[in-house]
Amino acid sequence: MSLKNIINELIVSAYKLKGGYVNVQVRDQSILISVDHLRTLNRAKTYSIKEPDTLDWLDSFESDSCYFDIGANIGQYSLYPAKKYGHKVRIYAFEPQSNNYYALNKNIYLNNLSEEISSYCVAVSGKTEFSKLYIPKFIPGGNRSQFGAEDLENMKIPATHIQGMFGVTLDDLCGQWGFPYPNYMKIDVDGLELAILKGAPVVLKNPALKSVIIELGTEAERNEAIALMQQAGLEVKLRPSRNWGEAYLIFERP
């Protein structure tokens, strides 16, 4: 075991002696985050500052709404609206990576939010099929996993683990499997965003959909997403500039 991993294990063990979680204040909400790895601890420490524009967007939700968190990771952007709105917003969190899915459910449990958040270990995708999930870093809080193919451009490093996984389009999710049509969606899946949009023409055109926040890595991807969303009657409302990392777009129906 490397020195880095030893230090990581010691830090996590210290938190386990204190209950295995950290309590963080996110705006006006107190939220518990499970510490199973140094990555999840770092996510907890940057919770309030990493994506302020996303938090602003979550603060704009209307009551009696349905929200899809696609690429939920450990659940930060599901936990916050669940704490803020309670039963007034129905939240569906989709996360295929098994370590993240475990952490997501652990955080839902720690915060007593199982009535507010329904979590699903599926890959929302551009096709409905059984395939594989390629995971570059098999840790809680890890990102850049790819469904269907080992995409090194988005993964940055080769897969260290491969999961069998079921993928589903948004149109099939709502049309075939009976999920409610969302009013709000966050799509952050490290490279599969355009495929998801292409597999969702019915959901995107549904008048129930009010707003979508989506991470897009390149200008070409942003332009293609804008064209797809315009076909569905959605226009760019805001280009968030304070979120760390990749560029985001917020779409709304005029």
The one-letter amino acid code at 52 reads P
Q: Is residue 76 part of a domain?
A: yes
Judge contact between 57 and 213, C-beta under 8 A: yes
pLDDT tens column, 16-35: 878 899 999 999 999 999 99
For residue 42, is it within any domain? no
Supply the range of the domain harboring residue 246. 50-252
| Helix ranges restricted to H, 97-218 | 98-110, 152-155, 170-175, 193-198, 201-205
CATH number at residue 109: 3.40.50.150
- The band of 224, judged by pLDDT with boundaries at 50, 70 and 90, is very high
End-to-end CA distance of the chain, in Å? 55
Lowest mean pLDDT among 28-32, 105-109, 236-240: 236-240
**33 in any annotated domain:** no
Domain count of the fold of the chain: 1
Helix (H) or strand (E) holding 3: helix 3-16
Beta bridge partner(s), residue 34: 21
Indicate whether 10 belongs to any domain: no
* Global pTM value: 0.95
16 domain-assigned: no
Q: How confident is the model at residue 15 (pLDDT cuts 50, 70, 90)?
A: confident
Is residue 95 a part of any domain in this protein?
yes
Q: Are 24 and 31 in contact (CB under 8 A)?
A: yes
In a domain, 19, yes or no: no
Give domain status of residue 131, yes or no.
yes
Do 96 and 69 contact (CB within 8 A), yes or no? Answer: no
